[in-house]
Amino acid sequence: MSRIPLMAGNWKMNLDHLEATATVQRLHWALQDANFDYDKVEVAVLAPFTDLRSIQTITDADNMSIRYGAQDVSVHPDGAYTGEISARMLAKLSCSYVVVGHSERRQYHGETDMEVGEKALAALGGGMVPIICVGEALGIRKAGEHVAYTLAQIDAVFSELGPELAPRAVVAYEPIWAIGTGEVATPADAQEVCGAIRERLAELYGRETAETIRVLYGGSVKSANVAAIMAEPDVDGGLVGGASLDPEEFARICRFGEHVA
Ligand code: 13P
């Protein structure tokens, strides 16, 4: 069963709505110039909340195939939760994706696996696809416990989702030591954990379903290293941070299929 790769740019807390509009436009042009085939690789940007309305407007107006989404969502449907954004609000802006459980939110906002699972459920309930982030810190990797640690995160987050909704999720394996450090995991490192994640998904939901779930790698992905990572059998795309802020570089990453691995 073939999985369509997903290249998703996580802008984090960068780019205001004017910069977002210009960045999406430049990404669109760069891909258009290259006759990019969006049926072969899905492209998405994951933007700050304040950018989403502008991105919706420009992608609609220019009939772009670039998808977009948010970087977080409330577990609550509505109500007295000052500062939070609901899944319904994001769905209304035609978001396709929502990042949940990014290591920066786990670290700075104390998000637990249970909360991450609830956020994934909220996104799915709104008809969007959660990109569920998992991955270990350096100490855990050095202790050789990275696979067990990451699979425990998978078990805990997916236990919040029913068997019907769970297979609609995307998983992103992001080893924390590779995020923003320039230290990219080797393709074999990425495959080891992404493959183990797929095996666990097969145990949970059956082999056929596990073969349809996309597992991304994130952490210092660039045009220079993406092709080798994407050549691994269980890596179905990238969650790209810093390099996605440069639309021409992100377009080169999306065109990984044209590079020599
Ligand atoms: P970098 O690509 O900047 O390492 O960030 C990865 C990341 O955290 C994407 O979510």
Does residue 102 have an active-site annotation? yes
| Residues whose CB falls within 8 Å of the CB of residue 192, separated by 6 or more in sequence, listed in order | 147
Please report the pLDDT score of residue 91 as a whole number: 98
pLDDT at 175: 97
pLDDT for the residue numbered 1:
54
Distance CA 165, CA 87 (A): 15
d(CA 240, CA 244): 6
- Ligand 1 atom showing the smallest separation from residue 104 Cα: 8
Give pLDDT, residue 260.
61
Between the CA of 80 and the centroid of ligand 1 the distance, in Å, is 32
**What distance in angstroms lies between residue 224's CA and the mean position of ligand 1's atoms?**
15
- Sequence-distant contacts of 46-49: CB under 8 A, at least 24 apart: 46/8, 46/9, 46/10, 46/11, 46/70, 46/71, 46/97, 46/99, 46/131, 47/11, 47/15, 47/20, 47/71, 48/11, 48/13, 48/14, 48/15, 48/20, 49/85
Give the pLDDT confidence score for residue 2 in this predicted structure: 81
Our answer on whether the CB atom of 221 is closer than 6 Å to any ligand 1 atom is: yes
The per-residue pLDDT for 259 is 77
Report the distance separating Cα 63 and Cα 51, nearest Å. 18
Tokens of 257: 């299929």
Q: Which residues of the chain have pLDDT under 70?
A: 1, 260-261
Active site residue 146: no
The overall pTM is greater than 0.85: yes
Task: Output the pLDDT for position 261.
Answer: 55
pLDDT at site 235: 98
Q: Identify whether the C-beta of residue 86 lies closer than 8 Å to the C-beta of residue 73.
A: yes
Residue corresponding to tokens 């110039």: 33
Can you give the pLDDT at residue 171?
98
pLDDT score, position 132: 98
Phi, psi of 36 (to 5 degrees): -65, 140
